[in-house]
């Protein structure tokens, strides 16, 4: 597995890893960005532990869990536009919607595949450094298990009273940055519709391979 893909999978593992036992789901406060990350992680890992089919690798159930539990807390329009970069403004509203839908499907399946690999890792939350009233913050964490800790950071934005994730950084690489170069190359060669087709083809191929993400 290439390092970039391995790092992406490690990053997508983050929201499924258990925090230390001293954290309580009931005590979590989703009104703060760092506590949202904590709460989301705890709720997801508890869902995994309570479902034998998910533990056995039932990919469709894992995808459903990810889609219902995690994805509502991600700003996919901003994540997609950041990954597409300067070409986003050149896309029609219909192309933007299709890009967002296909990119979401790609990430959901990648995330679901990563979830099946969760073992005994834990995640440590670093102190949040943000001034009162800020609407964009970075929540910094570390995945701890065998080997060296893995740096894992989240960019979140606040709209109204809700915090949503719009980028993930693993070992110094932001997810949007990682995709931007390959997306730009595809658009340069085949246009925006070419990128949409490439993403759709990847998703169709993954869907046709049972048990794989």
Distance between CA atoms of residues 50 and 70, nearest Å:
17
Least confident among 25-39, 60-74, 90-104, 156-170 = 25-39
Q: What angle do CA 159, 162, 165 make, to 5 degrees?
A: 85
Distance between CA atoms of residues 15 and 37, nearest Å:
7
User: What is the predicted pLDDT for the residue at 12?
Assistant: 53
Query: Mean pLDDT across the stretch 50-72?
Result: 80
pTM of the complete model: 0.77
The tens digit of pLDDT for each residue in 165-195 reads 999 887 788 989 989 999 999 999 999 999 9
Query: Mean pLDDT across the stretch 53-61?
Result: 78
User: What is the predicted pLDDT for the residue at 10?
Assistant: 52
User: What is the predicted pLDDT for the residue at 39?
Assistant: 83
Mapping DSSP onto H, E and C, the string for 126-147 reads CCCCCCCCCCEEEEEEEEECCC
pLDDT beyond 80 at 203: yes
Tokens standing for residue 161 = 């009273």
pLDDT beyond 70 at 5: no
Rg (CA), the chain: 17
pLDDT beyond 50 at 213: no
Tokens standing for residue 101 = 């839908």
pLDDT beyond 80 at 6: no
Domains and CATH numbers, the chain: 3-207 (3.10.450.710)
Q: What are phi and psi of 30, to 5 degrees?
A: -75, 0
Residue 163's Cβ-side half-sphere holds a number of Cα atoms within 13 Å equal to: 23
The tens digit of pLDDT for each residue in 15-45 reads 544 443 333 333 335 578 988 888 887 777 7
Distance between CA atoms of residues 70 and 66, nearest Å:
5
- The count of other CB atoms within 10 Å of the CB of residue 52 is 9
User: What is the predicted pLDDT for the residue at 63?
Assistant: 79
Q: How far is CA 118 from CA 25, 88, 111, 204, in A?
A: 19, 34, 11, 25
Least confident among 9-23, 71-85, 151-165 = 9-23
- Between 147 and 119, the more confident residue is 147
Q: How far is CA 130 from CA 41, 101, 139, 151, 155, in A?
A: 21, 32, 9, 19, 12
Distance between CA atoms of residues 194 and 198, nearest Å:
6
């Amino acid at each position: 597995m290439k390092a970039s893909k391995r790092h992406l999978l490690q990053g997508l593992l983050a929201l499924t890893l258990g925090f230390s036992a001293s954290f309580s789901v009931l005590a979590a406060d989703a009104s703060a960005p760092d506590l949202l990350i904590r709460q989301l992680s705890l709720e997801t890992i508890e869902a995994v532990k309570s479902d034998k089919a998910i533990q056995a690798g039932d990919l469709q159930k894992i995808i459903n869990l990810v889609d219902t539990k995690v994805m509502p807390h991600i700003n996919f329009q901003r994540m997609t536009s950041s990954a597409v970069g300067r070409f986003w403004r050149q896309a029609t509203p219909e192309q933007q919607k299709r890009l967002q839908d296909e990119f979401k499907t790609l990430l959901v399946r990648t995330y679901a595949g990563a979830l099946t690999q969760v073992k005994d890792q834990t995640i440590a939350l670093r102190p949040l450094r943000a001034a009162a009233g800020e609407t964009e913050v970075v929540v910094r964490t570390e995945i701890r298990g065998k080997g060296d800790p893995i740096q894992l950071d989240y960019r979140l934005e606040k709209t109204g009273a809700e915090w949503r994730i719009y980028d993930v950084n693993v070992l110094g690489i932001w997810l949007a940055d990682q995709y931007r170069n390959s997306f730009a190359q595809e658009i340069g060669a085949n246009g925006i519709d070419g990128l949409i087709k490439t993403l759709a083809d990847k998703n169709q191929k993954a869907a046709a391979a049972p048990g794989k993400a």
